[in-house]
Chain A
Amino acid sequence: MNATWHADPAVLASYAAEELDDVRASSLEAHLLACEHCRSVLAPMVPASQLDEMWHEISAVIDAPRVGLVEQVLVRLGVHEHVARLLAATPSLRLSWFLAEAFALGSAAVTAQNLSRTHAAGASLFVFLVLAALAPVAGVAAAFGPGVDPAYEVGIASPMRSDRLLFIRAAAVLSASLMITALAALALPDLDATVTLWLLPAVGLTFATLALATWLQPITAAAVAGLSWLFLAAIASVVSTDLLVAFGAGGQIVSVLAIVTSALVIANRHSAYEGRIPS
Chain B
Amino acid sequence: MTVRADGDDTLLAAVAAGDREALAALYRRHAPWLVLRLSRRCADPGMVEEVVQDTFVAVWKGAGRYRATGEVPAWIWGIGIRRLISRLRQQRPIAIVGAQADDSTVSAEDEVLIGVEHGDLGSALGRLSPELRAVVQATVLDGLSTKEAATLLGIPQGTVKTRAARARRELREALA
Contacts and interface: CB of A to CB of B under 8 A. Distances in A.
Answer whether A and B are interacting partners.
Answer: yes
A55 interface: yes
Contact of A54 (B23, B52, B130): B52
A51 B36 CA distance: 12
Given A39-B33, A42-B32, A23 B53 contact: no
A81 B30 CA distance: 34
B40 interface: yes
A33 interface: yes
A51 B57 contact: no
* Chain B, interface residues (CB within 8 Å), range: 35 or more
A160 B42 CA distance: 47
B32 A43 contact: yes
A5 B73 CA distance: 18
Interface stretch (A56-64, A113-121, A206-214): A56-64
B-side interface mostly: helix
B77 A33 contact: yes
A153 interface: no
Contacts of B32: 39, 42-46, 51
Interface string B6-39: 0000000000000010011001111111011101
Interface stretch (B94-102, B115-123, B152-160): B115-123
B70 interface: yes
A58 B27 contact: yes
B20 A32 contact: no
Contacts of A51: 27-28, 31-32, 35
Contacts of A22: 125-126, 130, 133, 137
A61 B52 CA distance: 13
A27 B24 contact: no
A24 B40 CA distance: 12
B114 A31 contact: yes
A23 B77 contact: no
B130 A30 contact: no
Contacts, number: 105
B29 A43 contact: yes
B69 to A, nearest CB: 11
Interface in A35-78: 36, 39-40, 42-46, 50-51, 53-55, 57-58, 61-63
Contacts of B27: 51, 55, 58
B97 to A, nearest CB: 29
Interface of A: 1, 3, 5, 15-16, 18, 21-27, 29-34, 36, 39-40, 42-46, 50-51, 53-55, 57-58, 61-63
Given A32-B33, A39-B33, 8 more contacts: A23-B125, A26-B113, A29-B141, A32-B37, A34-B73, A36-B29, A39-B32, A62-B60
26 contacts: A3-B114, A18-B39, A22-B125, A22-B130, A22-B133, A23-B122, A23-B126, A24-B117, A26-B133, A26-B137, A27-B113, A27-B116, A29-B37, A29-B141, A30-B110, A31-B114, A32-B33, A33-B73, A36-B29, A39-B73, A43-B29, A53-B49, A57-B49, A58-B53, A58-B60, A61-B53
